[in-house]
Amino acid sequence: MLGNTFGRLFRVTACGESYGDALLVIVDGVPAGMSLCDADIQFDLDRRRPGQTPLDSPRMETDQVKVVSGLLEGVTTGAPVGMIIYNVDRHDIHVQQYRDVKDQIRPGHAEYTYMVKYGTHADWCGAGRASGRETCMRVAAGALAKKILATEGIKVIGYTKSCMGIEATNIPAFDLIETEARKNHIICPDQVAAKKMIDRVMEIKDEGETAGGTIELIARGVPAGLGEPVFDKLNACIAHALMSIGAIKGLEFGAGFGVANMKGSECNDFPYLDENGKVKFRTNNSGGFLGGISNGDDLVMRLAVKPTPTVSVAQPTIDMEKMQETTLGAITRRDPTLLSRIIPVAESMLAMTIVDHLMMWRGYDSLQKFENKWK
């Protein structure tokens, strides 16, 4: 299996399966001299942890992280930072539930493509590396990336924007979004919309079904100049990062698909000089990017999150051992909606990408020997 490493200078390599012994991650490129402990990582892992609300999978994992390398007396040494999380809720009854249907394609899951690539050796227990369980280590690495970004005055936040057609419209100022969003289980800063979303998800849960929606990510404090103009545009690399999350099926930046109904002058973000003589923009239809390079404005994006593919209603499928059509009604554990738990995962992938590009830009720029009054 290839493709388990992300990034160039800030490099994240993860391994581990849904029902394996443990999940591990190695983060290369962590600066030396930074204080770090398990608790710094644990906060975001607790946000992602299942079994905490009626909107989560009932799987009762503790997701307790241990930093096992790259530290000396609580300070990073510049060596790779290694972290481990042990799987604890993987009992025989749960394994047997997967074994009973291991030859059947679960609609919306990766069984068929895994069988094509890996044959009879494909991991059928809890979807293996295709399971959302692997995102634990994305969040662990992302928490480390966020800690680095904080030293640069950069903050990444996410929240639920919509669920099953119910839209959050009363969004507070940036500094209040996190506080307001964490007042409810679906992580939405619009309390009226949040209640409607939760009620709708619970109705859908009672039907044996699951619910989709959208989340919005904002990164504030990102300096202008990150990203390369052609193949490695910052927004292109962010798209790579976010679309690597299994449940993400769509992505838009700034005005997104709304630009299809705009005139050029309506879409363009007009620059102006603020009271300090700095270049600012009156709107942010671009989402914080020009020519694939950050322009100093907020990076803004929205992600379409699919409903959890595991549902209890009978669905047509194929038994790949018998090569016969059949039906499947899953009884395994699942999230009624992925929205709340996927937010820290998406934040983490965005944070890792920004750190990686920040390191590349700072390194390249250090060799440019000319004055630039616009920085």
Question: For the residues of 47-111, what is the DSSP string, one character each?
Answer: HH-SSSSTTS--------EEEEESEETTEE-SSPEEEEEE-----HHHHHHHHTTTTB--TTSSH
The string of pLDDT tens digits covering residues 135-194 is 999 999 999 999 999 999 999 999 999 999 999 999 999 999 999 999 999 999 999 999
* Domain annotation covers residue 374: no
| CB contact set of 251 (below 8 Å; sequence gap of 6+) | 239, 242, 243, 301, 302, 303, 304
pLDDT digits (tens, 9 = 90+) for 342-360: 999 999 999 999 999 999 9
Pairing of strands 81-86, 65-69: antiparallel
Tell me, yes or no, whether 302 lies in a domain.
Answer: yes
100, 126, 215 from 311: Cα distances, Å: 16, 14, 22
Instruction: Report the percent of the chain where pLDDT is more than 90.
Output: 85
Model confidence band, residue 372 (pLDDT cutoffs 50, 70, 90): confident
Q: Is residue 372 situated within a structural domain? A: no
Total of domains in the chain: 1
Instruction: Establish if 141 belongs to a structural domain.
Output: yes
Rounded Cα–Cα distance for residues 128 and 226 (Å): 35
Tell me, yes or no, whether 375 lies in a domain.
Answer: no
pLDDT confidence band for 369 (50 / 70 / 90): confident
User: Is the residue at 279 inside a domain?
Assistant: yes
What number is the average pLDDT over the span 296-315?
95
C-alpha separations of 307 from 59, 96, 197, 248, 249 in Å: 18, 24, 14, 10, 10
Among candidates 110, 185, 136, which has minimal Cα distance to 345?
136
User: What pTM, to 2 d.p., does this model score?
Assistant: 0.95
Digit-coded pLDDT (tens) for 198-236: 999 999 999 999 999 999 999 999 999 999 999 999 999
Q: Is 127's pLDDT higher than 90?
A: no
What percent of the chain has a predicted confidence (pLDDT) above 70? 100
Asked if residue 115 is part of any domain, the answer here is yes
pLDDT of residue 279: 94
Q: Report yes or no on 371 lying in a domain.
A: no
pLDDT at 91: 83
Here the CATH number for the domain that contains residue 323 is 3.60.150.10
User: Is it the case that residue 303 has pLDDT exceeding 80?
Assistant: yes
Q: Which residue has the higher pLDDT, 328 or 297?
A: 297
Q: What contacts 257, CB < 8 A, 6 or more positions away? A: none
pLDDT band at 124 (very low <50, low <70, confident <90, very high): confident
pLDDT score at 58: 87
Is 16's pLDDT higher than 90? yes
Predicted confidence (pLDDT) per residue in 182-204, tens digit: 999 999 999 999 999 999 999 99
Domain hosting 222: range is 5-365
